[in-house]
Structure 1
Amino acid sequence: MTVEMTNGEGVRMRNRSFLFLMSMGVFLFAGCSGATSEPNAQGEQPKPPPAKANPVTLQVASQGSSTVLDEEFKQVVQSFMAKKYPHITLNFNPESTATSLDALLAAGTIPDLIVTFNGNLASYKEKELVSDMTPLFQTAGIDLSRFEPGYIVDVKNASDKGEMYGLPINVNYHAMYYNKDIFDKFGATYPTDGMNWEQLTDLAKKVTRMESGTQFRGLDPGSTVIWMSQPLSIAAIDPKTDKASLRTDKWSRVFKLAKSIYDIPGNGMITATPKDQFMKSKTLAVLLDLNILTQLAAAGKEGLNWDVAQYPSYTEKPNTYGNASVYVMLATKTGKHREDAVKAIELITSEEVQLALSKKGRLSPLKSAQVKQALGADNPDLKNKHLPSIFKSLPVEYPIASPYRGKAEGILVNKFKEYVNGTVDENTALAQAEEEINKMVATEKTK
């Protein structure tokens, strides 16, 4: 570059301009050269941007959870996943023969995540599917105090050491659903919150009628004696001893109470599903069941005029119903993508996702008042229903898990049916059930 030099002040001005432009050029060159190691105000080198996570597909298996993992659930979860963890894709394997949990395990495929109810967790220990996830939750910053304490205890009771095999993502509750048209038809008052079993049984008698050739049943307690027994903290088998002890005053009380319901003329046991009788044929006045709000919303479109009230209680156990059946998501012990699996659990149990699911009509395990109050808010078919009644009762603590519980309860229910049908008396039914359960356990232990 040639600089024109003239006399006097003009020369000095041109020289200054030239030097200024040269210095600016050096500055700009340094800025454009990619020099990013300039220390910050504290003299520290800036951290490089985090590496982009590799895409991963997590295989999700379930057992007894198909009603939870429906299309609505998947859509909500996947929309949030795409925003927070776009590298994670969840592949939900349906509970069909080919992709059931047992089928996957038989094929040597270990899923990354499993969703099941807490009653199944104990059996997974023998299959080497579970481990204590508490350290993983702590590392991920998951605060267990956000959950209802009882649901955390229910999960811990699946382990003999109080370990956390997974986290609750959804909760089954017990509620009383009633057909308003049947009560109107027979001039009876609707069920109310705070009723005890005896009051509800008396009310059921008023709406158990034969009308124009159609038998209307007043009440079905659901699951025969099992749900009715749980608030009294009695079980078909003692998980600590693996023994049945059924000849007790509490079991006698439950058997008598349940029989008094089925003994109402016209209200006997039926071969049809009580839920179908309530929602389809519309000939059942009161159904005691779990959270079936989504199904009821659909039935409402087909003409079912329904509402909900608080689950009935025992007088000495007010505002208490049976086991909550907490649905748990866990990262398998030998899964290949444990870190990403924990991220999925963290996301699904977050306030934002649980709020979105609550608005759809799903009961959340979180304590959050905002989440509870939002129950059913996005479903127009749930408007004007007494949904707050659901929260007036809480579940009894889930018993310590026993791998023999399911078979033991099956034996007990069969003996109760014999008692109701008059084949055996109460004492004989309980004695035979106790004997058969203990024999079953002894046989199972030899396998």
Structure 2
Amino acid sequence: MKKRRGLALLLAIMMVMLAACGGTGNTSNTRNAAESAPPSGETTGNGGDAKGQVGEQTRKEPVTITFWNYGNTITDTEFNKLIVEPTKVKYPHITLERIKTDADTTPEDLLSTGQVPDIIYTSSGPSYYRFLDIGIIQDLDELIAKHNVDTTRIKPAILESIRSFTQEGKLIAIPLSFNLLITYYNKEIFDKFNVPYPSDEPQTWEQWLELGRKLTIQDNGVQYVGVDLGGPSNIVRSLDVGNVDTATGKSTLASEEWTGIYELLKKQYEIPGFIGSNNEIGYDRVTFMQDRRLAIRPAFLANMVGPLEELKAEGIDLDWDIAPAPHFGDNKVGGSIHSVILSNQGKHLDDAFLVIANILSDETQRLVARNGRVPSIVNPELEKEFGADVSVLQGKKIENVFKLEAKPNNPPHPLDNQLGEVLSQAAEEIALNGKDVNSALRGAEEESNRIIEAWEKTRP
């Protein structure tokens, strides 16, 4: 309760500061409309077209829109190529200014300095809840109607996922791309141990585990790890179960889905040589890219493509390729949504909306695809251009990115980050302390429910 009262006080201070600078979001919008109105006698563009493009008024007064990244990565190159340049072409009166902060800067830290970004770039998940709790997310539905934006262009799985974060099903973000899971494999290790490369047909998690077993080998003092399936929070993206039952408000860890996930992990931990000499039970991209002793790694596209590109730029070649993501027999793959949200305290709300709505244009989404991100709109033609401008993806099996059906995110909950830590602790109990799956899950379920109940008591 103290934390929420503190946050409420912070927001109250911020509102006073904003009022002193020229008014609330409503009065700012009125001022913005006046500033953006064309001079007398000039005409304006239409409100949009059938493809969801946002119309624009001619010869508007210049405005500066601030942009802040929280929780995921967008390089300066990507920011300029995917956001700044498309905006300048369509809306030359808008200048985008990036707010740069340390990686550990929280939204509360930023707001305490008096800075309220117009646009926030983040991922779907707990980040959405964080900004909803602070109270600065702008509901986009009215702006979408006002500017005649066609949201049916957004992939249904993405649209459903974004709307699931509010009980009213509001659209609170515009998606830039869908960060899907994919399977990376090091061909050098397969060659070293004379194991055939993975199939280009989708394989189940169990099949990937069995293939990895063949490559978990110690050779000349080096322990090679055949596969790291990732932790429980990674694997569950292939299923339709969240951390909290939306009907009961209780933990879902007693379900068959979670039992199956931990039984799979137990088999992984039991492979001789999988658990490291320092009790490692998980292996990151460094083990794959630099140590070169992890053969197979299911991971997000954005987690690996950029670093692999940087590795190549350093003159270090790694012989790798991609296969379809693991699944549970239904050929479905999960991911996260890289998206932008608007602050409801911005001084130029309509102009900021024009910036983010332009992300859904065919032109911008083509840039998204060509730069190694999965487009957020329904346009199969764009998939053919995936990775065309990324040197490290040349010659790779790009078609394997799209062989599974992208599914909506699992039912979200504000406590997903904290409950995810409980999931990891249960995995450690199985891997390092020899607990059986049922015992580990019972303990994790009790701890999860304790966290949920404590949180419920703090809610208004």
Q: Same fold (TM over 0.5)?
A: yes
Give, in angstroms, the shift of residue 376 of structure 1.
0.8
1:221–1:390 CA distance, 2 compared to 1 (3 A): same
3-state SS of 1:261 partner: helix
Q: Does 2:238 match 1:231? A: yes
Q: Does 2:258 match 1:251? A: yes
Partners of 1:98 and 1:150 in 2: CA distance: 30
Equivalent residues of 1:73, 1:357 under 8 A apart: no
* 2:419 matched residue in structure 1: 408
What are the Cα deviations for residues 75-116 of structure 1, in whole angstroms up to 9, with x where unaligned?
342222222212211122234169653222223332111111
Give, in angstroms, the shift of residue 272 of structure 1.
7.2
1:189–1:97 CA distance, 2 compared to 1 (3 A): closer
3-state SS of 2:273 partner: coil
1:241–1:68 CA distance, 2 compared to 1 (3 A): farther
3-state SS of 1:441 partner: helix
The counterpart of 1:115, out of the listed 105, 117, 121, is 121
1:381–1:251 CA distance, 2 compared to 1 (3 A): closer
Equivalent residues of 2:228, 2:282 under 8 A apart: no
Aligned-residue sequence identity (percent) comes to 28
What are the Cα deviations for residues 213-237 of structure 1, in whole angstroms up to 9, with x where unaligned?
1111000112x11121232212222
* 1:275 matched residue in structure 2: 285
Q: Does 2:371 match 1:360? A: yes
1:331–1:358 CA distance, 2 compared to 1 (3 A): same
The counterpart of 1:198, out of the listed 201, 206, 225, is 206
What are the Cα deviations for residues 104-131 of structure 1, in whole angstroms up to 9, with x where unaligned?
2223332111111121223322222124
Matches within 5 A, 1:11-410: 47-49=41-43, 52-65=59-72, 67-96=73-102, 100-119=106-125, 120-192=127-199, 193-222=201-230, 224-268=231-275, 270=280, 273-291=283-301, 292-300=304-312, 301-315=315-329, 317=330, 319-322=331-334, 324-410=335-421
Which residue identity does 1:275 align to in structure 2? Answer: R
Equivalent residues of 1:77, 1:348 under 8 A apart: yes
Give, in angstroms, the shift of residue 170 of structure 1.
1.8
Equivalent residues of 1:95, 1:101 under 8 A apart: no
Partners of 1:164 and 1:304 in 2: CA distance: 41
1:165–1:282 CA distance, 2 compared to 1 (3 A): same
Partners of 1:69 and 1:164 in 2: CA distance: 26
* 1:16 matched residue in structure 2: none
3-state SS of 2:180 partner: coil
Which residue identity does 2:99 align to in structure 1? Answer: N
**Quick check: 56-65 or 227-236, which moved more?**
227-236
3-state SS of 1:233 partner: coil
3-state SS of 1:267 partner: coil
Partners of 1:243 and 1:136 in 2: CA distance: 36
Partners of 1:205 and 1:442 in 2: CA distance: 41
Partners of 2:226 and 2:148 in 1: CA distance: 50
Paired positions, count: 397
Partners of 1:312 and 1:134 in 2: CA distance: 35
Which structure is higher in RCO with an 8 Å CA cutoff and minimum separation 6? 2
What are the Cα deviations for residues 304-348 of structure 1, in whole angstroms up to 9, with x where unaligned?
100000012212x2x1123x2111212212221111011101222
3-state SS of 1:236 partner: coil
TM-score by length of 1: 0.84
3-state SS of 1:325 partner: strand
* 2:31 matched residue in structure 1: none
Equivalent residues of 1:360, 1:376 under 8 A apart: yes
1:152–1:69 CA distance, 2 compared to 1 (3 A): farther
1:48–1:314 CA distance, 2 compared to 1 (3 A): closer
Equivalent residues of 2:242, 2:411 under 8 A apart: no
Give, in angstroms, the shift of residue 378 of structure 1.
1.6
Equivalent residues of 1:115, 1:330 under 8 A apart: yes
1:385–1:47 CA distance, 2 compared to 1 (3 A): same
1:259–1:417 CA distance, 2 compared to 1 (3 A): same
Partners of 2:318 and 2:408 in 1: CA distance: 33
Give, in angstroms, the shift of residue 53 of structure 1.
1.5
3-state SS of 2:96 partner: strand
Partners of 1:92 and 1:373 in 2: CA distance: 31
Give, in angstroms, the shift of residue 240 of structure 1.
4.4
Please list every run of 5 or more consecutive structure 2 residues that lacks an aligned counterpart in the other structure: 1-39, 45-57
Which residue identity does 2:292 align to in structure 1? Answer: K
Give, in angstroms, the shift of residue 209 of structure 1.
0.8
Partners of 1:278 and 1:395 in 2: CA distance: 25
What are the Cα deviations for residues 110-155 of structure 1, in whole angstroms up to 9, with x where unaligned?
2111111121223322222124211211222321121211101111
Which residue identity does 1:258 align to in structure 2? Answer: L
1:98–1:311 CA distance, 2 compared to 1 (3 A): closer
Which residue identity does 1:144 align to in structure 2? Answer: T
Equivalent residues of 1:234, 1:250 under 8 A apart: yes
Which residue identity does 1:74 align to in structure 2? Answer: N
1:95–1:401 CA distance, 2 compared to 1 (3 A): farther
Equivalent residues of 2:274, 2:281 under 8 A apart: no
Partners of 2:370 and 2:456 in 1: CA distance: 45
Equivalent residues of 2:177, 2:368 under 8 A apart: no
Partners of 1:360 and 1:99 in 2: CA distance: 27
